[in-house]
Structure 1
Amino acid sequence: MPIAHIARRFGCTVPTKANLLLKCDRLPMTDQPLILDTSEYGLLTDLYQLTMAACYVGEGLEQRRASFEVFCRNTPDGYGYLVAMGLAQVVDYLQHFSFGAAQISSLKASGIFDHAPDAFWSLLAEARFTGDVWAVPEGTVVFPNEPLLRIEAPLWQAQIIETYALNALNYQTLIATRAARLRDLTGPKAALLEFGTRRAFSPQGSMWAARAAIAGGLDATSNVLAAMKLGRKPSGTMAHALVMALSALEGSEQQAFTSFHRYFPKAPLLIDTFDSVAAARSLAQRIQAGELELDGVRLDSGDLVELSKEVRSLLPGVPIIVSGDLNEAKVKALIDAGACIDGYGFGTKLVTGAPVNGVYKLVEIDGIPTMKASSGKSTYPGRKQIFRSFAPDGTFEGDRLGLMTEDPANATPLLELIMQDGQLLTPPESLDAIAQRTAANVHQLPANLRAIANPPTYFPTISTALQTLTDQTLHRIHKTP
């Protein structure tokens, strides 16, 4: 189809043959703040989800029962496992799934849906989620090709859900996995703090990052709103700005520390604004003189190995917290070098970076198994279950990916029924319970899968029944003209 025809179809123009960038017509500017409200959840989806839903209505297929599964084809480079996270936000989305009159009017005003059937608008006006949700509990370790989530619902509903479900699961799974790796690396006693709000991809992302980090094993977040909503106490120290401002206005770095402690007694102090060792030496003298009590110091720059050792010698009873673009590899290097560190703050490297590329694929429609058969991106058909086996000592032995109808055969099925007919079956779990599951799941894994550098990629075995169904489905696909 010519590009100009496509452009006209979606209200766009192609100015010149040399310029292939489409300039699309815009709706009148309304200057509304881009803050998400639960009443708008229905519209937080990609356009093609809605255009496909309209097509399903027009073809009379919208109510056919469809099953979609979320899984990752591979883990990100350097990751031996993933920690499933974000289910609570998917459930919240499904419970609020609707389209208000204002949202429907906006869709109509776009002109994109001028040829959509009238029944499409009636469907949106009465929308609510009426399907079933199967998922692994948050904090469960999963591997490539294993479904974190399955939506079983009328086709039109299951289709629209894709965008939000992937957004919530992909991002939080990434953060939780990193947090779990950090906790596994540093051990249970280290203080691990999430400082990533300023670097997260959005204000909403910062809230999800804080939640996933704590559920993955970190102790606290500096994000005050996230902490309050999660029933947690926020954690943090100070910035260099306070030390510089008060030093300039009140006379010295030590006076800045005194002023801060006047309002926040014993609070950890950031000591690397000017000279970390000199600051630690002055603090040691004040502590010995009985002038000061101190719950910690933070180092944010410099040679953290050598600085931490010098500070420890000067302040032997004071916890040392370090920060500054830390990730798993840097923390491991600090530990291997014998750094004297009691806690770590994580920001940019925790909340940004290579994504978890979870996908959402149709696996069954109206009882008919379906699969994608394209080279390099093929999928397994049918509604599936993960069957996990454990050794006698409780450690991870292996996973089998099979069909929901299979006998577990002494293995533990991981996907559980979370919602049925649109109704939540189990109450939300606490972050503490999820964090405990995360730790337990990670500790069950062999050391090679937990490695920070160059872990192997583990794939579950495919059951005989699933392989047979795959072969049958491929034969049907290739036989169909």
Structure 2
Amino acid sequence: MAAPSRNACGLMERSVRERVPPLLTDMYQFTMAYAYWRAGRHQEPAVFELFFRDNPFGGGFSLFAGLHDCLLFLRGFRFTDEDVDFLRSILPPATDPAFFQYLRGLDCSGVTLRSVPEGTVVFARVPLVEVAGPLAVVQLLETSLLCLVNYASLVCSNAARFRLAAGPRRKLLEMGLRRAQGPDGGLTASRYTHIGGFDLTSNVQAGFLFGIPVTGTMAHSYVTSFTSLEEVWPQTLAAASGDQDPVDVISLTKGWLSRLCELLGAEPAKVREGELAAFLSYAIAYPQNFLPVIDSYSVGCSGVLNFCAVALVLSELGYRPLGVRLDSGDLCRQSVDVRRVFRLCSEHFSIPAFDSLIIVGTNNISEHSMAELNKKENEINAVGVGTHLVTCTKQPSLGCVYKLVEVRGRARMKISEDPEKSTVPGRKAVYRLFDAEGHPFLDLLCLAAESPPEAGLPLSCFPLGSDDSAASVTPAQVTCLRQEMFTKGQITQPLCSAVETRAEVQASLQTLHPRHKRLQEPDSYTVALSEKLHHLVSEIIRGSSSSSSNSDFLLAN
């Protein structure tokens, strides 16, 4: 699969630079950076890790997303004169002017970022990203990196759950731009819901920037803007073959509508002429893409009859209508009724194309209602999701954090009164262990200097959240989970397109055992420490209880 074009990469890099300048951060990053600089510590080598503490939505997994933009952000990280002038105006007047000269020369040439690949299935407490470099610089990166990863990973994971609920065959359309938290939230949602498993978006800008397939037809306002067939113009349409003169489609439509009412025992007086005019006008404009919303009035008494009348005209002229959209009421029941009418038309009028018409459902769809579709009889081929997808109504934030784990080669640990908020110290390697069936069953955190685990050899480890007892496991396969992605100012791995990352998501999810993919009450996935890392944690905790001045750890509540 081809990498993004140079033009597409340029657009995305410019987008990141404009949306995420170095000033898009918290004030305390600058106050800390100045204090480090003032103390002469700003160049000390430091390591931070980014991770989240709980799997989102009560599920068993998350997806890692946002890395692409993080790398572009690092590559373009520089303060302009205007940035520095503004910082000079908001920092205390006594701030040493030389600090601002220091900021003006900063970049990420001394920063190294290692992370799991974008689109990988990940789990709570596993360090997804390691950022190493000069202390003041890697501190300044914190908020921006969290901003880029938190929502992207959350909405991507939400999309994957919708995909699991919908099943593999039903098409999914993201249509949440109007409900998103601002323009950037809407654009990020369109991008990462596609990566998470949605097939299409209504967001035109997302199609332009990321190559996501875009779709859309009409709203109810288009339908209700028409009142009579006199508003249809032009009133003729040429056959698809182009080998005959345009025909009067209004007369054709009236004839088909009369036959439909007779076939279905419908009352012609209840058929809305304005709706028919809207459908006909739209079909004349887009004879190859006819898919109207049919619930502006009554689906059974008007919408489906008007659709079929126009669709029959299109079929007679050699075009293939696409289908209909349902946006209110009992979607399952209505879809069954509409499909019955399509089949009657196919059989009675000998038009096989009616057997392949699609039915799209779009009515405030949630993960729960998506799952319910699979339990009820329905004929819905595609589902459009907006509010509950892009706003992540079940959980508003993933809660990623960015924590210091090493300074000057010495491990640092936050020891909290809340054990869940304690961190795992030291620079690490992360390995994923697989069973004989190819399913991952444990992520192992080791000290970076340790030898990696080997397939077929038993190892002892300490699962997080357990009673501090050791477990013995034997992996059938071992994978190193993190890769170097950025160093010396350069991105070191190819940047993937949304399509390529989407494929990575599906491949990663395929390996996951069904018990970890369950939407309700999934089994917990095991994350464990190696013996050496567990020993380091124990030593630091013991030291914290005996001496608060120990320089080899950081005590923080």
Is TM-score (shorter-chain normalized) higher than 0.5?
A: yes
Range moving further from structure 2, 304-313 or 177-186: 177-186
Please say if 1:348 is aligned against 2:387: yes
* Structure 1 residues 393 and 302, CA gap change in structure 2 (3 angstroms): same
Question: Which residue, 73, 89, 92 being the options, matches 2:69?
Answer: 89
Please say if 1:314 is aligned against 2:325: no
Listed one character per residue, the Cα deviations across residues 409-459 of structure 1 (whole Å, up to 9, x for unaligned) are: 231111110011221111201222211111121121122221122223434
TM-score, normalised relative to structure 2: 0.77
| Rg comparison, structure with higher value | 2
Question: Which residue, 174, 199, 208 being the options, matches 1:194?
Answer: 174
Deviation at 1:192, TM superposition (A): 1.0
Question: Which residue, 274, 279, 283 being the options, matches 2:303?
Answer: 279
Please say if 1:42 is aligned against 2:22: yes
Deviation at 1:54, TM superposition (A): 0.7
Matched position secondary structure for 1:93: helix
* Structure 1 residues 247 and 161, CA gap change in structure 2 (3 angstroms): farther
Matched position secondary structure for 1:139: coil
* Aligned twin of 2:494: 427
* Counterparts of 2:215 and 2:19, CA distance in 1: 32
* Aligned twin of 2:242: none
* Aligned twin of 2:402: 360
Listed one character per residue, the Cα deviations across residues 8-53 of structure 1 (whole Å, up to 9, x for unaligned) are: xxxxxxxxxxxxxxxxxxxxxxxxxxx9853971101000011110
Question: Which residue, 433, 436, 454 being the options, matches 2:521?
Answer: 454
Deviation at 1:281, TM superposition (A): 2.9
- Kindly indicate whether the alpha-carbon contact (under 8 Å) linking 1:216 and 1:438 is maintained by their aligned counterparts in 2: yes
Deviation at 1:155, TM superposition (A): 0.9
Deviation at 1:263, TM superposition (A): 2.2
* Aligned twin of 2:95: 116
What code does the residue aligned with 1:480 have? Answer: S
- Kindly indicate whether the alpha-carbon contact (under 8 Å) linking 2:227 and 2:274 is maintained by their aligned counterparts in 1: yes
Please say if 1:219 is aligned against 2:241: no
* Aligned twin of 2:216: 236
Please say if 1:480 is aligned against 2:535: no
Listed one character per residue, the Cα deviations across residues 134-179 of structure 1 (whole Å, up to 9, x for unaligned) are: 1111110111101121111111111111111111111010111111
- Kindly indicate whether the alpha-carbon contact (under 8 Å) linking 1:322 and 1:345 is maintained by their aligned counterparts in 2: yes
What code does the residue aligned with 2:434 have? Answer: F
Matched position secondary structure for 2:56: coil
Listed one character per residue, the Cα deviations across residues 236-289 of structure 1 (whole Å, up to 9, x for unaligned) are: 222111111124793511210111222222232111111122311332344345
* Counterparts of 2:143 and 2:539, CA distance in 1: 30
* Aligned twin of 1:414: 481
Listed one character per residue, the Cα deviations across residues 77-117 of structure 1 (whole Å, up to 9, x for unaligned) are: 4221000000011111111111111111111122x332223
Matched position secondary structure for 1:269: coil
Aligned pairs, how many? 446
Range moving further from structure 2, 69-78 or 262-271: 262-271
* Aligned twin of 1:129: 108
- Kindly indicate whether the alpha-carbon contact (under 8 Å) linking 1:70 and 1:361 is maintained by their aligned counterparts in 2: yes
* Structure 1 residues 393 and 40, CA gap change in structure 2 (3 angstroms): closer
1:250-289 superposed matches below 5 A: 250=231, 251-265=273-287, 266-277=289-300, 278-288=302-312
Instruction: Provide the aligned C-alpha RMSD in A.
Output: 1.9
* Structure 1 residues 283 and 66, CA gap change in structure 2 (3 angstroms): same
Matched position secondary structure for 2:405: strand
* Aligned twin of 2:256: none
* Structure 1 residues 101 and 318, CA gap change in structure 2 (3 angstroms): same
- Kindly indicate whether the alpha-carbon contact (under 8 Å) linking 1:400 and 1:460 is maintained by their aligned counterparts in 2: yes
State percent identity of aligned pairs.
33
Deviation at 1:371, TM superposition (A): 1.2
Deviation at 1:295, TM superposition (A): 0.9
Name structure 2 gaps, 5 residues minimum: 1-14, 232-272, 343-354, 456-477, 550-557
- Kindly indicate whether the alpha-carbon contact (under 8 Å) linking 1:145 and 1:459 is maintained by their aligned counterparts in 2: no
Question: Which residue, 441, 444, 447 being the options, matches 1:403?
Answer: 447
Deviation at 1:320, TM superposition (A): 0.9
- Kindly indicate whether the alpha-carbon contact (under 8 Å) linking 1:196 and 1:350 is maintained by their aligned counterparts in 2: yes
* Aligned twin of 1:19: none
* Counterparts of 1:375 and 1:246, CA distance in 2: 66
Please say if 1:390 is aligned against 2:434: yes
* Counterparts of 2:327 and 2:156, CA distance in 1: 24
Name structure 1 gaps, 5 residues minimum: 1-34
* Aligned twin of 2:471: none
Range moving further from structure 2, 229-238 or 41-50: 229-238
What code does the residue aligned with 2:298 have? Answer: D
- Kindly indicate whether the alpha-carbon contact (under 8 Å) linking 1:140 and 1:437 is maintained by their aligned counterparts in 2: yes
Matched position secondary structure for 1:394: coil
Matched position secondary structure for 1:345: strand
Deviation at 1:125, TM superposition (A): 0.5
* Aligned twin of 2:145: 165
